[in-house]
Amino acid sequence: MRAVVQRVASASVSVDGREVARIARGFLVLAGFAHTDTPTSIQWTARKVSSLRVFEDDSGRMSLSLEAVGGEMLVVSQFTLYGDVAKGARPSFDDSAPPEAARAMYTRFVDELRALLPGRVHTGEFQASMQVALVNDGPVTIWVEKSAA
C-alpha cells in the first residue's frame, strides 16, 4: 500500500461539481493499493499515517500529531500511485489492485483510520472522477509505503 500524506490548511473534494467532503487543518491522504496488499499492510499504513507527528509545537519543531492539533483527514483513493513509467511514457498500472479488490482495501483502510481517529476522517468517492483542492501547509508531503512482504 502507498499513501501520500500532505499536511494541509484546508482541502476539499468534489464530484460532478458537487462538494462531497471538506476539511480544515489536517491531512489530505492519497491512498493507492496493490494487488499484493494484505490486511496487515493496510492496518500498518493506517496506524503510521494516523500517528505522524508533522505539526509544529511551540518551539517550531515538527512533533505534534493530527490528534494533538485537533486536525481532520481527507482520504482519496488514487490507483495512479502505482503507475509505472519505467518503460515508455505511458504508465502501466499492472501493480494496482483491480477495482473491486481495491474498493475493499480502501474501505478497510478508511475503517481502520476511523477507529483510530473517530469523527475526524472524511472521504472522496471511490472510483469517481474527483476534483481535489488543497492548500498545502509548509509544504509538508510524506510518502508512506508498506509492501505486503
- 149 has pLDDT over 70: no
What pLDDT, in 10s, does the model give residues 18-71?
999 999 999 999 999 999 999 999 999 999 999 999 999 999 999 999 999 999
- Under CATH, which architecture does the 2-145 domain have? 3-Layer(bba) Sandwich (3.50)
Q: Provide the whole-model pTM.
A: 0.95
Q: Say which residues have a Cβ less than 8 Å from residue 48's Cβ, sequence separation at least 6.
A: 144, 146
Which one is catalytic: 80, 127, 131, 141? 80
Residue 127 falls in the annotated catalytic set: no
- Using CA of residue 4, residue 6, residue 47, residue 104, what is the dihedral sign? negative
The rounded mean pLDDT for the chain is: 96
Residue 55 falls in the annotated catalytic set: no
Which one is catalytic: 27, 79, 109, 123? 79
- The grid coordinates listed for 121 are 476522517
Residue 80 falls in the annotated catalytic set: yes
Domain residue extents for the chain: 2-145
What pLDDT, in 10s, does the model give residues 113-146?
999 999 999 999 999 999 999 999 999 999 999 8
Q: Is 38 helix (H, G, I), strand (E, B) or coil?
A: coil
Q: What pLDDT was estimated at residue 106? A: 98
